[in-house]
Structure 1
Amino acid sequence: MKTLLQHFLKDERGTASIEIVLVFPVFFGFFLMTYESGVYSARQVMLEHGVDVTVREIRIGVITNPDRDNLRARICSAARILPDCIRQLEIELEQRDPRTAWVALDAEVRCVDRGDLDADYGGTIDPTGNNELMFLRACIRIDPFLPSSALGKAFIEANAGDSAAGESYALIATGAFVVEPFRND
């Protein structure tokens, strides 16, 4: 029995697989977090791009009378990688007068209630006019690409206090513009 035990302890076959079993989960976890972070960043960048393109079109008069459906369609067409964008995107368009006492935008951003994706929230869509300072905020609810990864769970937990958060996180983009004075109303 003693020689069998000594022979077993001296045998080095399979030691590489022990290292792989110990190291692989750590590196695979890093890979998953990197992938989730990349998907999150790409979606945030595309939402920002969609808002910027839409703000530019309003500012120069391509979109003359913006309404919720038109603005959501424009943002979603520019931000193509956002899943179920038309139904998941909520927008606010508010006017501010920079010449009077400044009134900041509400700290709470309105996002879609995922329990009722087809609800119309009314919200604030002020008509734009020449030389008016306007703010456009967009919020979209997104499911993490890999919800079981550490980063996916962190995104979900960070939004745990939000109403209708569930298993999602919110991406928010804001744009400001002044309507050019040459636009015909």
Structure 2
Amino acid sequence: MTRRTPHKTASRLRRALRLFRKREDGNATVEFAIVIPAFLFLLMNTVELGMITIQQSMLERALDQTVRGLRLSTGVPKQHNEIRDEVCRRSGFIRNCGTSLRLEMVQVDPYAWTPVDPVPDCINRVEDVQPVRNFVTGDSNELMFIRACMAMKPVFPHWGLADDMDNDADGRIRLYATSAFVQEPR
């Protein structure tokens, strides 16, 4: 057996490292392993933002159409559940709308303005249908403020965008839509 000197071992190790550094096989794998998490993060956040945007725009559109119907009707004022069902019927894309949507409607005096509570109520769980916070149907020629709040489960609840949004205790994202109208004379 021949003994290797530390000098020969070190030079052999340097030569092996130099050859390893010059090799290019596996190069794409390293790039893939570094870049793919960033692309997946972007893709998942894009899907999440798209779902939130679609549901927000559908909620706003449904509330606007329902308020238009309320404004133009001169019959009996509708109650909370009727208006909620009308918003849900028109929204189309909102899952579990009947149990995840909450409406608030208050009469506002434009000459003696008092601000409406800036924090709307949302339903915390689909199973818990809470009583109406404040729902006044209003009389002829009264200015009415209506606000819809819905809670939705994010597509990717613990990854990226959903963690940074306004979430409730169950991890649901809260979406709001508001409108105002004047009751037509009867």
TM-score of the pair, normalised by structure 1: 0.85
SS at match of 1:83: coil
Deviations 1:72-126 (A, max 9, x none): 1111111111111100111011111223x1111112212113175234x133221
Q: Any conservation in 1 of the 2:99–2:126 contact (CA below 8 Å)? A: no
SS at match of 1:105: coil
**Structure 1 position 149, deviation (Å):** 2.0
Give the partner amino acid of 2:115: A
Q: Any conservation in 2 of the 1:57–1:63 contact (CA below 8 Å)? A: no
SS at match of 1:70: helix
Is 1:25 the equivalent of 2:25?
no
- The more displaced of 22-31 and 108-117 is 108-117
Q: Any conservation in 2 of the 1:95–1:134 contact (CA below 8 Å)? A: yes
Q: 1:8 to 1:62 in 2, by over 3 A?
A: farther
Q: Any conservation in 1 of the 2:104–2:133 contact (CA below 8 Å)? A: yes
Q: Which residue of 1 aligns with 2:129?
A: 118
Matches within 5 A, 1:157-172: 158-159=166-167, 165-172=169-176
Q: Any conservation in 2 of the 1:90–1:138 contact (CA below 8 Å)? A: yes
Matches within 5 A, 1:28-67: 28-61=40-73, 64-67=76-79
What is the count of residue pairs matched by the alignment? 174
SS at match of 2:64: helix
Q: Any conservation in 2 of the 1:88–1:117 contact (CA below 8 Å)? A: no
CA distance in 1, matches of 2:164, 2:149: 19
Identity of aligned residues (%): 33
Q: Which residue of 2 aligns with 1:176?
A: 180
Give the partner amino acid of 1:114: R
- The more displaced of 56-65 and 139-148 is 56-65
Q: Which residue of 2 aligns with 1:151?
A: 161
CA distance in 2, matches of 1:55, 1:168: 26
CA distance in 1, matches of 2:25, 2:161: 37
**Structure 1 position 62, deviation (Å):** 7.1
Q: Which residue of 1 aligns with 2:118?
A: 107
**Structure 1 position 34, deviation (Å):** 1.5
Q: Which has the larger radius of gyration?
A: 2
Q: 1:97 to 1:125 in 2, by over 3 A?
A: same
CA distance in 2, matches of 1:122, 1:16: 59
Find the partner of 2:96 among 81, 84, 88: 84
Which structure 2 residue ranges, 5 or more long, are not aligned? 1-8
TM-score of the pair, normalised by structure 2: 0.84
Which structure 1 residue ranges, 5 or more long, are not aligned? none
